């Protein structure tokens, strides 16, 4: 069922409304009334007859209007009473509910059980419930502020989602001083029923919204998220700040939200795959909002960033950052320290008439002849004249430029405290524009389970690879009697559950030149590993030696939320040293595999740098695609590593494997 009435209810009831102005329920009621909501408003209170000048009702069933399907119910009463109300809603056919109340999953086991029961009722009756433990919902287009946070913004085109009420309220407060008008504000809370996916799905078709910015602490269904966003970003940017990106932060998030998030690396890989703009912190989030405040961000011409300045030094620092961020740079126009507003006006006229200049950062520091306010007026005028060019400003200083900054905010011209913030935000913008052109919709790979693999035996694991057209080094179970028949030189390995990390266990002996050396090596290993080798699952294998290859590591690890995360990187002794690893979701095709390989630092070597030989990049890409297919078709395999994969000038060979089911 659509969320249409959830976001645009015909009427709103507030359970927990009270004449006590301190009560959260009353604050919500006041905000709904004060926001100018046009529908009917029903305060619900067992004892009181009139609240905030409105008739109060003892219970939902007492409302005169019976249009329950278009009613939004906001619940702000102690948690122990909430379930009863939800059940009542279910009985009455009420579908849209916000539970503001806290005291659920975040409060311990009892709360968690209660929340699960609520979710169960909601799912049985196809009810939409936001929260619990949330700030509520604002829809400025519908003049609905169903939160306990004050907000007096006009309508806007941005939707803000926040899993944290605290960050949500901080954002609302910040947006107010920045004169930033948004369309929707949705505090997700515990996400017992509604989560980011359902909200984003709705916002995709909401024409009033052209930018979605979300703060999330956990993502339960990453594959669904990737599928939704990768479709959406083609016409609306989505930016996500995921808390808990570090191990320590993730640990804290776990204790804070009470829910297990996917692994950090998988989340980052998945969100980047979705095409969403990846944010690292609050500053980036707020700065991105500043950048997107003007519609002109989506101009599609040349993407160089040019700079106008009255301070050479500030321009140099700006170009330093442009360079660090690898942003295409246009030109820097230094109109000198004594530039007045007129000189700014003149240069803007000249530059903006140039079709090649689409993106301009205007810098100013207050000096003797500087006229910050007049200059701001000139810039705002120019921005209006060129609505399709992105004009950003950074006036560096304090008192002298404060009024100019306010003017920019009121006029919707992106303005930043420091030029480097403008540059970094701009970088995100041009990356996003590249995404629009290149993104492919994520489709959850179809799972055709062939046979369920439960055996992690080494020789069988190599056989699985060959089933998926990934060739392997010729590998035989060692037999004393056959030692004379091997093609020397050979490598001797011990495989099995006691030898998952063979190098660490000294369980690899390379370069054995003849039968005698091999047998001697076997004897030495047997002495050293008597106990392990007494178990049949640990045994010797012999592999033919190869040479003239590049060592690559290839593998995947399954994430509960984002599916199999593929890995490719530098193998051999430098793997741990340089951690040259790229991750990607398992929906990759041959072209994408080639792109990933080309993004590796060692690509020049694979590609034959400085007149050296070229390695079989296509063969490597095929191996990666085939391994992804294996990952998709065997959901029972949790991890699979090929390390090393030998890449030759022609062909590849898996030389060692490790599988975890």
Enumerate residues 608-637 that contact a copy of itself by CB under 8 A: 609-612
How far, in whole angstroms, is CA 532 from its chain's centroid?
44
Q: Which stretch binds a copy of itself (CB under 8 A): 223-231, 412-420, 617-625, 642-650?
A: 412-420
Range 282-311, binding a copy of itself (CB under 8 A): 282-283, 286, 310-311
# chain residues binding a copy of itself, by CB under 8 A: 87
Q: Which of 274, 332, 475, 543 binds a copy of itself (CB under 8 A)?
A: 332
Range 558-597, binding a copy of itself (CB under 8 A): 573-574, 576-578, 580
Q: Which stretch binds a copy of itself (CB under 8 A): 5-13, 182-190, 319-327, 507-515?
A: 319-327
Nearer to a copy of itself, 231 or 424 (CB): 424
Q: Which of 63, 112, 304, 329 binds a copy of itself (CB under 8 A)?
A: 329
Q: Which of 155, 246, 388, 480 binds a copy of itself (CB under 8 A)?
A: 246
Containing H/E element for 616?
Answer: none
Containing H/E element for 13?
Answer: strand 11-15
Q: Which stretch binds a copy of itself (CB under 8 A): 293-301, 522-530, 607-615, 626-634?
A: 607-615
Is 402 among the residues that bind a copy of itself (CB under 8 A)?
yes
Is 131 among the residues that bind a copy of itself (CB under 8 A)?
no
Q: Which stretch binds a copy of itself (CB under 8 A): 81-89, 183-191, 501-509, 630-638?
A: 501-509
Q: Which of 80, 205, 506, 511 binds a copy of itself (CB under 8 A)?
A: 506
Min CB(310)–a copy of itself separation in Å: 7
Is 178 among the residues that bind a copy of itself (CB under 8 A)?
yes
Beta bridge partners of 510: none
Please, what's the b/e burial string for 28-37 (b: 16 or more CB within 10 A of its CB; e: otherwise)? Answer: bbbbbbebeb
Q: For residue 260, what are its two tokens?
A: 């297990």
Do 433 and 615 touch, CB atoms closer than 8 A?
no
Nearer to a copy of itself, 61 or 283 (CB): 283
Q: What is the residue whose two structure tokens read 């669904």?
A: 224
Of 46, 74, 72, 290, which is closest to residue 182 (Cα–Cα)?
290
Min CB(619)–a copy of itself separation in Å: 20
Per DSSP bridges, beta strands 539-544 and 490-495 are antiparallel
Do 182 and 147 touch, CB atoms closer than 8 A?
no
Nearer to a copy of itself, 162 or 296 (CB): 162
Nearer to a copy of itself, 210 or 641 (CB): 641
Do 138 and 34 touch, CB atoms closer than 8 A?
no
Is 393 among the residues that bind a copy of itself (CB under 8 A)?
no
Is 280 among the residues that bind a copy of itself (CB under 8 A)?
yes
Q: Which stretch binds a copy of itself (CB under 8 A): 63-71, 349-357, 395-403, 539-547?
A: 395-403
Q: Which of 62, 316, 660, 661 binds a copy of itself (CB under 8 A)?
A: 316
Nearer to a copy of itself, 27 or 435 (CB): 27
Do 263 and 561 touch, CB atoms closer than 8 A?
no
How far apart (Å, rounded) are the C-alpha atoms in residues 124 and 595?
Answer: 46
Q: What's the burial of 378, exposed, middle or buried (CB within 10 Å: 0-12/13-18/19+)?
A: buried
Is 29 among the residues that bind a copy of itself (CB under 8 A)?
no
Do 135 and 100 touch, CB atoms closer than 8 A?
yes
Per DSSP bridges, beta strands 211-216 and 238-242 are parallel
How far, in whole angstroms, is CA 282 from its chain's centroid?
14
Is 497 among the residues that bind a copy of itself (CB under 8 A)?
no
What character string, x for contact with a copy of itself (CB under 8 A) and - otherwise, covers 511-530? --------------------
Show Cβ contacts of residue 272 under 8 Å, excluding neighbours closer than 6 positions. Answer: 278
Is 58 among the residues that bind a copy of itself (CB under 8 A)?
no
Range 67-126, binding a copy of itself (CB under 8 A): none
Is 167 among the residues that bind a copy of itself (CB under 8 A)?
yes
How far apart (Å, rounded) are the C-alpha atoms in residues 118 and 93?
Answer: 15
Q: What's the burial of 638, exposed, middle or buried (CB within 10 Å: 0-12/13-18/19+)?
A: middle
Nearer to a copy of itself, 537 or 580 (CB): 580
Q: Name the E strands within 272-349.
A: 277-279, 305-309, 329-334
């Amino acid at each position: 069922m659509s969320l249409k009435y959830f976001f645009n209810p015909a009427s709103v009831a507030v359970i927990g409304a009270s004449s006590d102005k301190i009560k959260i329920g009353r604050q919500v009621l006041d905000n709904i009334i004060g926001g100018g909501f046009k529908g009917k408003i029903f305060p619900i209170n067992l004892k009181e007859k009139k609240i905030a000048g409105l008739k109060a009702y003892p219970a939902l069933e007492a409302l005169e209007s019976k249009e329950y399907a278009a009613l939004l119910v906001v619940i702000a009463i102690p948690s122990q009473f909430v379930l009863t109300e939800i059940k009542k809603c279910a009985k009455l056919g009420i579908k849209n509910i916000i539970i503001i109340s806290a005291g659920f999953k975040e409060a311990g086991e009892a709360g968690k059980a209660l929340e699960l029961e609520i979710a169960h009722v909601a799912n049985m009756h196809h009810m939409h419930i936001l929260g619990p433990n949330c700030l509520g919902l604002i829809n400025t287009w519908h003049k609905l502020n169903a939160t306990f946070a004050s907000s007096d913004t006009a309508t806007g085109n941005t939707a803000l989602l926040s899993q944290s009420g605290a960050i949500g309220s901080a954002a609302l407060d910040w947006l107010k001083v920045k004169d930033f008008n948004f369309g929707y504000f949705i505090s997700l809370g515990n996400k017992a029923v509604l989560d980011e996916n359902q909200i984003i799905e709705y916002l995709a078709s909401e024409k009033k919204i052209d930018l979605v910015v979300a703060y999330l602490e956990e993502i339960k269904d990453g594959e669904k998220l990737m599928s939704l966003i990768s479709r959406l970003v083609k016409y609306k940017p989505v930016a996500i700040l995921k808390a808990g990106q570090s191990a320590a932060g993730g640990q804290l998030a776990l204790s804070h939200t009470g829910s297990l998030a996917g692994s950090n690396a998988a989340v980052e890989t998945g969100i980047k795959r979705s095409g969403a703009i990846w944010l690292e912190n609050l500053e980036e989030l707020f700065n991105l909002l500043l950048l997107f405040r003007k519609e002109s961000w989506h101009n599609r011409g040349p993407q160089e960033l040019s700079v106008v300045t009255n301070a050479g030094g500030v321009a140099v620092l700006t170009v330093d950052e442009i360079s660090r961020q690898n942003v295409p740079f246009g030109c820097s126009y230094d109109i000198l320290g004594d530039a007045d507003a007129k000189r700014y006006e003149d240069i803007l006229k000249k530059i903006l008439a140039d079709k090649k200049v689409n993106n301009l950062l205007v810098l100013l520091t207050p000096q003797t002849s500087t006229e910050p306010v007049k200059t701001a007026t000139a810039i705002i005028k120019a921005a209006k004249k060129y609505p399709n060019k992105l004009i950003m400003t950074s006036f560096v200083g304090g008192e002298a430029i404060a009024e100019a900054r306010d003017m920019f905010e009121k006029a919707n011209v992106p303005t930043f405290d420091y030029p480097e913030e403008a540059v970094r935000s701009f970088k995100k913008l041009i990356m996003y524009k590249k995404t629009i052109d290149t993104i492919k919709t994520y489709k959850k790979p179809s799972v055709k389970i062939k046979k369920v693999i439960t055996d992690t035996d080494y020789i069988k694991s190599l056989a699985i690879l060959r089933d998926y057209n990934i060739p392997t080094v010729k590998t035989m179970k060692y037999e004393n009697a056959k030692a004379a028949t091997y093609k020397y030189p050979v490598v001797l390995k011990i495989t099995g559950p006691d030898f998952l990390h063979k190098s660490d266990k000294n369980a690899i002996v390379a370069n054995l030149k003849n039968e005698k050396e091999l047998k001697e090596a076997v004897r030495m290993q047997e002495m050293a590993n008597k106990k392990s080798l007494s178990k049949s699952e640990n045994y010797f294998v012999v592999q033919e030696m190869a040479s003239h290859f590049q060592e690559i590591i290839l593998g995947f690890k399954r994430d509960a939320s984002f599916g199999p995360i593929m890995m490719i990187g530098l193998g051999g002794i430098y793997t741990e040293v340089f951690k040259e690893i790229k991750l990607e979701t398992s929906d990759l095709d041959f072209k994408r595999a080639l792109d990933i390989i080309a993004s590796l630092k060692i690509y020049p070597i694979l590609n034959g740098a400085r007149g050296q030989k070229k390695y079989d990049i296509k063969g490597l890409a095929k191996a990666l695609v085939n391994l992804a297919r294996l990952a998709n078709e065997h959901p029972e395999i949790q991890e699979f590593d090929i390390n090393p994969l030998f890449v030759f000038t022609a062909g590849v060979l898996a030389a060692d494997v490790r599988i975890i089911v």
